[in-house]
Amino acid sequence: MMASSSSQRKATQWNVKEAVGVLHPRVLKEADGGAGSKFSQHRNRFSRLLLEYGEQHLQDWAVVASSQPTTTTTTTTMADYDGIQKRNMYATSSSSKDLRGSAHTATVVPDSMPPSLCMKSLDGRLRLCSRSIVFEPLDSTRGIVRCPFQRMDMAPHEEAPSLERSSSSSSNHNNLSGSSSRRLACPKDDSGVATLSCHRHLVMKTSNTIAPFDSVQVPGDFRFTFLHSNPGKFFDLAKTLFEQVHSKTLTQVMASAALDAILKPMLDRPFDPSNFVDVRERPLTANLRCSLISPLQSNQGCALVTTSRVYFQPAAGVVSSAL
Protein backbone atom coordinates (compact mmCIF):
# COMPACT_ATOMS: atom_id res chain seq x y z
CA MET A 1 0.00 0.00 0.00
CA MET A 2 2.83 2.36 0.88
CA ALA A 3 4.70 1.48 -2.32
CA SER A 4 1.69 2.22 -4.52
CA SER A 5 1.09 5.60 -2.85
CA SER A 6 4.75 6.61 -3.30
CA SER A 7 4.68 5.65 -6.97
CA GLN A 8 1.51 7.70 -7.43
CA ARG A 9 3.20 10.71 -5.81
CA LYS A 10 6.19 10.35 -8.14
CA ALA A 11 3.91 10.16 -11.17
CA THR A 12 2.01 13.24 -10.00
CA GLN A 13 5.23 15.18 -9.45
CA TRP A 14 6.50 14.25 -12.91
CA ASN A 15 3.23 15.32 -14.54
CA VAL A 16 3.32 18.65 -12.71
CA LYS A 17 6.90 19.21 -13.84
CA GLU A 18 5.93 18.53 -17.44
CA ALA A 19 3.04 20.98 -17.18
CA VAL A 20 5.29 23.67 -15.72
CA GLY A 21 7.80 23.04 -18.49
CA VAL A 22 5.14 23.62 -21.13
CA LEU A 23 3.41 26.61 -19.53
CA HIS A 24 6.42 28.33 -17.95
CA PRO A 25 9.69 27.13 -19.57
CA ARG A 26 11.69 29.96 -18.00
CA VAL A 27 10.62 28.93 -14.50
CA LEU A 28 11.61 25.33 -15.20
CA LYS A 29 14.93 26.53 -16.58
CA GLU A 30 15.67 28.42 -13.35
CA ALA A 31 14.59 25.41 -11.26
CA ASP A 32 17.00 23.16 -13.18
CA GLY A 33 19.94 25.39 -12.36
CA GLY A 34 19.87 27.59 -15.43
CA ALA A 35 20.58 24.89 -17.99
CA GLY A 36 20.29 26.31 -21.50
CA SER A 37 17.48 25.10 -23.69
CA LYS A 38 17.53 24.43 -27.41
CA PHE A 39 15.53 27.60 -27.97
CA SER A 40 18.04 29.73 -26.10
CA GLN A 41 20.89 28.17 -28.05
CA HIS A 42 19.10 28.90 -31.32
CA ARG A 43 18.28 32.43 -30.27
CA ASN A 44 21.96 33.19 -29.69
CA ARG A 45 22.99 32.20 -33.23
CA PHE A 46 22.08 35.50 -34.83
CA SER A 47 24.08 38.57 -33.93
CA ARG A 48 24.54 42.03 -35.38
CA LEU A 49 28.20 41.09 -35.72
CA LEU A 50 27.14 38.97 -38.71
CA LEU A 51 25.99 42.11 -40.53
CA GLU A 52 27.93 44.86 -42.25
CA TYR A 53 29.43 47.69 -40.25
CA GLY A 54 26.68 50.16 -39.37
CA GLU A 55 23.87 47.86 -40.50
CA GLN A 56 20.80 47.73 -38.26
CA HIS A 57 18.49 44.82 -37.47
CA LEU A 58 14.91 46.10 -37.75
CA GLN A 59 12.39 43.30 -37.29
CA ASP A 60 11.90 39.55 -37.65
CA TRP A 61 9.07 37.13 -38.42
CA ALA A 62 8.40 33.39 -38.10
CA VAL A 63 8.44 31.86 -41.58
CA VAL A 64 8.80 28.62 -43.51
CA ALA A 65 11.49 28.93 -46.18
CA SER A 66 12.20 27.14 -49.43
CA SER A 67 14.75 27.88 -52.13
CA GLN A 68 15.99 26.73 -55.49
CA PRO A 69 18.47 27.86 -58.13
CA THR A 70 17.15 30.28 -60.70
CA THR A 71 15.64 28.33 -63.61
CA THR A 72 17.91 29.84 -66.26
CA THR A 73 20.94 29.12 -64.10
CA THR A 74 19.95 25.49 -63.63
CA THR A 75 19.53 24.93 -67.39
CA THR A 76 22.89 26.51 -68.16
CA THR A 77 24.76 24.58 -65.50
CA MET A 78 23.52 21.23 -66.79
CA ALA A 79 24.92 21.90 -70.27
CA ASP A 80 28.18 23.31 -68.93
CA TYR A 81 28.68 20.40 -66.57
CA ASP A 82 28.10 17.78 -69.28
CA GLY A 83 30.65 19.50 -71.53
CA ILE A 84 33.23 19.68 -68.77
CA GLN A 85 32.76 16.00 -67.91
CA LYS A 86 33.26 14.93 -71.54
CA ARG A 87 36.39 17.04 -71.90
CA ASN A 88 37.81 15.62 -68.69
CA MET A 89 37.38 12.06 -69.96
CA TYR A 90 39.72 12.68 -72.92
CA ALA A 91 41.96 15.31 -71.38
CA THR A 92 45.70 14.79 -71.21
CA SER A 93 47.90 15.75 -68.32
CA SER A 94 49.22 18.78 -70.22
CA SER A 95 45.75 20.27 -70.67
CA SER A 96 44.42 19.39 -67.22
CA LYS A 97 45.29 22.84 -65.90
CA ASP A 98 43.12 24.55 -68.53
CA LEU A 99 40.26 22.18 -67.86
CA ARG A 100 40.45 22.90 -64.15
CA GLY A 101 40.21 26.57 -64.96
CA SER A 102 37.10 26.09 -67.10
CA ALA A 103 35.53 23.88 -64.45
CA HIS A 104 36.19 26.54 -61.85
CA THR A 105 34.46 29.26 -63.83
CA ALA A 106 31.41 27.13 -64.61
CA THR A 107 28.44 27.30 -62.26
CA VAL A 108 27.76 24.48 -59.83
CA VAL A 109 25.74 21.58 -61.17
CA PRO A 110 22.23 21.23 -59.62
CA ASP A 111 23.02 17.86 -58.01
CA SER A 112 25.81 19.48 -56.00
CA MET A 113 24.03 22.72 -55.16
CA PRO A 114 24.72 24.11 -51.67
CA PRO A 115 22.10 23.41 -48.99
CA SER A 116 21.08 27.08 -48.97
CA LEU A 117 19.62 26.62 -52.48
CA CYS A 118 17.91 23.32 -51.67
CA MET A 119 15.73 24.31 -48.71
CA LYS A 120 12.39 22.51 -48.54
CA SER A 121 9.88 23.83 -45.97
CA LEU A 122 12.51 24.85 -43.44
CA ASP A 123 11.23 26.61 -40.31
CA GLY A 124 13.06 29.68 -39.06
CA ARG A 125 13.00 33.43 -38.61
CA LEU A 126 13.19 36.00 -41.38
CA ARG A 127 15.14 39.05 -40.22
CA LEU A 128 14.86 42.35 -42.04
CA CYS A 129 18.01 44.45 -41.79
CA SER A 130 18.85 47.84 -43.23
CA ARG A 131 21.06 46.42 -46.01
CA SER A 132 20.02 42.80 -46.32
CA ILE A 133 17.50 40.08 -45.55
CA VAL A 134 18.64 37.28 -43.24
CA PHE A 135 17.03 33.87 -42.78
CA GLU A 136 17.95 32.02 -39.59
CA PRO A 137 16.82 28.34 -39.62
CA LEU A 138 15.64 26.75 -36.39
CA ASP A 139 17.83 23.77 -37.27
CA SER A 140 21.26 24.76 -35.97
CA THR A 141 22.97 22.45 -38.47
CA ARG A 142 21.76 24.67 -41.32
CA GLY A 143 23.63 27.88 -42.01
CA ILE A 144 22.22 31.39 -41.65
CA VAL A 145 21.48 32.83 -45.11
CA ARG A 146 22.07 36.53 -45.78
CA CYS A 147 20.82 38.11 -49.03
CA PRO A 148 22.12 41.68 -49.55
CA PHE A 149 19.82 44.19 -51.23
CA GLN A 150 22.78 45.17 -53.42
CA ARG A 151 22.64 41.71 -55.04
CA MET A 152 18.93 41.93 -55.91
CA ASP A 153 17.41 43.32 -59.10
CA MET A 154 14.06 44.02 -57.45
CA ALA A 155 12.64 44.30 -53.96
CA PRO A 156 11.00 41.27 -52.28
CA HIS A 157 7.44 40.98 -53.53
CA GLU A 158 4.28 39.02 -52.94
CA GLU A 159 4.07 35.74 -54.80
CA ALA A 160 1.51 35.67 -57.60
CA PRO A 161 -1.22 33.02 -57.20
CA SER A 162 -0.47 29.90 -59.21
CA LEU A 163 -2.97 28.49 -61.71
CA GLU A 164 -3.08 25.09 -60.01
CA ARG A 165 -3.79 26.59 -56.60
CA SER A 166 -6.42 28.94 -58.02
CA SER A 167 -8.20 26.11 -59.85
CA SER A 168 -8.16 23.85 -56.78
CA SER A 169 -9.50 26.66 -54.61
CA SER A 170 -12.30 27.39 -57.07
CA SER A 171 -13.28 23.71 -57.23
CA ASN A 172 -13.39 23.46 -53.45
CA HIS A 173 -15.42 26.64 -53.37
CA ASN A 174 -18.02 25.17 -55.72
CA ASN A 175 -18.22 21.81 -53.95
CA LEU A 176 -18.78 23.10 -50.42
CA SER A 177 -21.87 25.02 -49.33
CA GLY A 178 -22.28 27.64 -46.62
CA SER A 179 -20.32 30.80 -46.01
CA SER A 180 -18.24 29.32 -43.17
CA SER A 181 -17.34 26.28 -45.28
CA ARG A 182 -16.34 28.52 -48.17
CA ARG A 183 -14.06 30.55 -45.92
CA LEU A 184 -12.34 27.40 -44.69
CA ALA A 185 -12.03 25.93 -48.17
CA CYS A 186 -10.61 29.03 -49.81
CA PRO A 187 -7.93 30.52 -47.58
CA LYS A 188 -5.65 33.15 -49.03
CA ASP A 189 -2.63 30.88 -49.22
CA ASP A 190 -0.58 33.31 -51.31
CA SER A 191 -1.27 36.42 -49.22
CA GLY A 192 1.44 35.42 -46.72
CA VAL A 193 4.19 34.42 -49.15
CA ALA A 194 7.17 36.59 -50.05
CA THR A 195 9.66 35.81 -52.80
CA LEU A 196 13.00 37.30 -53.71
CA SER A 197 15.81 36.60 -56.16
CA CYS A 198 19.45 37.17 -55.29
CA HIS A 199 22.53 36.87 -57.51
CA ARG A 200 24.81 36.06 -54.60
CA HIS A 201 24.19 35.27 -50.93
CA LEU A 202 26.24 34.43 -47.86
CA VAL A 203 25.98 31.41 -45.56
CA MET A 204 27.16 31.81 -41.96
CA LYS A 205 27.48 29.77 -38.76
CA THR A 206 26.68 26.36 -40.20
CA SER A 207 26.27 23.88 -37.31
CA ASN A 208 26.59 26.96 -35.07
CA THR A 209 30.32 27.07 -35.80
CA ILE A 210 32.18 30.36 -36.11
CA ALA A 211 34.01 30.19 -39.44
CA PRO A 212 34.59 32.31 -42.56
CA PHE A 213 31.42 33.08 -44.45
CA ASP A 214 30.59 30.99 -47.53
CA SER A 215 29.86 33.15 -50.57
CA VAL A 216 27.44 31.33 -52.89
CA GLN A 217 27.74 32.96 -56.31
CA VAL A 218 24.82 31.09 -57.85
CA PRO A 219 21.60 33.03 -58.54
CA GLY A 220 18.78 31.66 -56.42
CA ASP A 221 15.08 32.17 -55.73
CA PHE A 222 13.90 32.23 -52.11
CA ARG A 223 10.31 31.78 -50.92
CA PHE A 224 9.13 32.65 -47.39
CA THR A 225 5.69 31.76 -46.01
CA PHE A 226 4.71 33.90 -43.02
CA LEU A 227 3.19 31.84 -40.21
CA HIS A 228 1.61 34.17 -37.65
CA SER A 229 1.56 37.61 -39.23
CA ASN A 230 0.69 39.56 -42.33
CA PRO A 231 3.72 40.34 -44.52
CA GLY A 232 2.41 43.76 -45.52
CA LYS A 233 4.78 45.61 -43.19
CA PHE A 234 7.67 43.48 -44.42
CA PHE A 235 6.96 44.42 -48.04
CA ASP A 236 6.72 48.13 -47.23
CA LEU A 237 9.96 48.25 -45.23
CA ALA A 238 11.85 46.02 -47.67
CA LYS A 239 10.84 48.19 -50.62
CA THR A 240 11.94 51.37 -48.82
CA LEU A 241 15.30 49.87 -47.84
CA PHE A 242 15.84 48.41 -51.31
CA GLU A 243 15.29 51.81 -52.91
CA GLN A 244 17.69 53.43 -50.45
CA VAL A 245 20.45 50.93 -51.21
CA HIS A 246 20.05 51.29 -54.98
CA SER A 247 19.57 55.05 -54.98
CA LYS A 248 22.37 56.99 -56.69
CA THR A 249 21.34 60.41 -55.38
CA LEU A 250 20.88 59.53 -51.70
CA THR A 251 23.79 60.76 -49.59
CA GLN A 252 25.01 59.03 -46.45
CA VAL A 253 23.47 61.73 -44.25
CA MET A 254 20.11 61.40 -46.00
CA ALA A 255 20.23 57.61 -45.73
CA SER A 256 21.01 57.84 -42.00
CA ALA A 257 18.08 60.23 -41.46
CA ALA A 258 15.73 57.93 -43.38
CA LEU A 259 16.85 54.95 -41.29
CA ASP A 260 16.31 56.92 -38.06
CA ALA A 261 12.76 57.68 -39.19
CA ILE A 262 12.15 53.94 -39.63
CA LEU A 263 13.66 53.10 -36.24
CA LYS A 264 11.81 55.78 -34.25
CA PRO A 265 8.44 53.94 -33.98
CA MET A 266 10.30 50.81 -32.87
CA LEU A 267 12.23 52.71 -30.20
CA ASP A 268 9.03 54.34 -28.92
CA ARG A 269 7.22 51.01 -28.59
CA PRO A 270 6.07 50.49 -24.95
CA PHE A 271 7.02 47.40 -23.00
CA ASP A 272 4.61 44.50 -23.42
CA PRO A 273 3.52 43.32 -19.92
CA SER A 274 2.47 39.93 -21.30
CA ASN A 275 6.17 39.01 -21.28
CA PHE A 276 6.41 39.06 -17.48
CA VAL A 277 7.73 35.78 -16.10
CA ASP A 278 5.34 35.94 -13.12
CA VAL A 279 1.80 37.29 -13.44
CA ARG A 280 2.08 38.70 -9.90
CA GLU A 281 4.83 41.11 -10.91
CA ARG A 282 4.08 44.81 -10.86
CA PRO A 283 6.08 47.49 -12.74
CA LEU A 284 7.92 50.00 -10.56
CA THR A 285 9.16 52.31 -13.32
CA ALA A 286 8.02 53.63 -16.66
CA ASN A 287 9.67 52.60 -19.92
CA LEU A 288 13.34 53.55 -19.72
CA ARG A 289 15.00 54.21 -23.08
CA CYS A 290 18.43 52.59 -22.96
CA SER A 291 20.92 50.39 -24.81
CA LEU A 292 22.11 46.95 -23.79
CA ILE A 293 25.90 47.03 -24.12
CA SER A 294 27.76 43.85 -24.95
CA PRO A 295 31.22 43.28 -26.43
CA LEU A 296 31.52 44.98 -29.84
CA GLN A 297 27.83 45.88 -30.10
CA SER A 298 25.05 47.98 -28.61
CA ASN A 299 21.39 46.97 -28.75
CA GLN A 300 18.81 49.75 -28.41
CA GLY A 301 15.52 49.24 -26.60
CA CYS A 302 13.76 49.96 -23.33
CA ALA A 303 14.13 48.64 -19.78
CA LEU A 304 11.53 48.08 -17.09
CA VAL A 305 11.95 47.36 -13.37
CA THR A 306 9.32 45.23 -11.64
CA THR A 307 8.88 43.95 -8.11
CA SER A 308 10.94 40.84 -8.96
CA ARG A 309 13.07 41.43 -12.05
CA VAL A 310 14.61 43.83 -14.53
CA TYR A 311 13.50 43.42 -18.14
CA PHE A 312 15.00 44.64 -21.39
CA GLN A 313 12.92 44.82 -24.56
CA PRO A 314 14.97 45.31 -27.74
CA ALA A 315 13.65 47.71 -30.33
CA ALA A 316 13.91 44.98 -32.96
CA GLY A 317 13.01 41.34 -32.66
CA VAL A 318 11.50 39.34 -29.82
CA VAL A 319 11.67 40.29 -26.15
CA SER A 320 14.76 39.04 -24.37
CA SER A 321 14.74 37.16 -21.08
CA ALA A 322 14.66 38.84 -17.72
CA LEU A 323 18.02 40.20 -16.63
DSSP string, 212-260: PPEEE-S-EEEEEEESSS-THHHHHHHHHHHHHHH-SS--HHHHHHHHH
Burial class (CB in 10 A: 0-12, 13-18, 19+), 271: buried
Residue ranges of alpha helices (H) inside the chain are 2-23, 25-31, 38-43, 71-89, 96-105, 163-175, 179-185, 232-246, 252-267
Identity of the residue numbered 213: F
- Cα separations (Å) of 122 from 38, 46, 222? 17, 17, 11
3 state SS of 174: helix
User: Is the distance from CB of 126 to CB of 135 less than 8 angstroms?
Assistant: yes
Predicted pLDDT at 102:
38
Query: What pTM was estimated for this model as a whole?
Result: 0.66
- Which residues in the chain land under pLDDT 50? 12, 27-42, 74-109, 163-190
Q: Terminus-to-terminus CA distance in the chain, angstroms?
A: 47
User: What long-range pairs does 22-25 form, CB within 8 A, spacing at least 24?
Assistant: 24/277
* Separation between Cα atoms, residue 163 and residue 176, nearest integer Å: 20
- CA 1 and chain centroid, separation: 55
Q: Where are the domains of the chain?
A: 269-323
Paired strand residues for 201: 216
Predicted pLDDT at 9:
54
* Separation between Cα atoms, residue 82 and residue 237, nearest integer Å: 43
Burial class (CB in 10 A: 0-12, 13-18, 19+), 138: middle
Identity of the residue numbered 107: T
Mark residue 294 as left, alpha or beta (left: phi above 0; alpha: psi -120 to 50; beta: remaining): beta
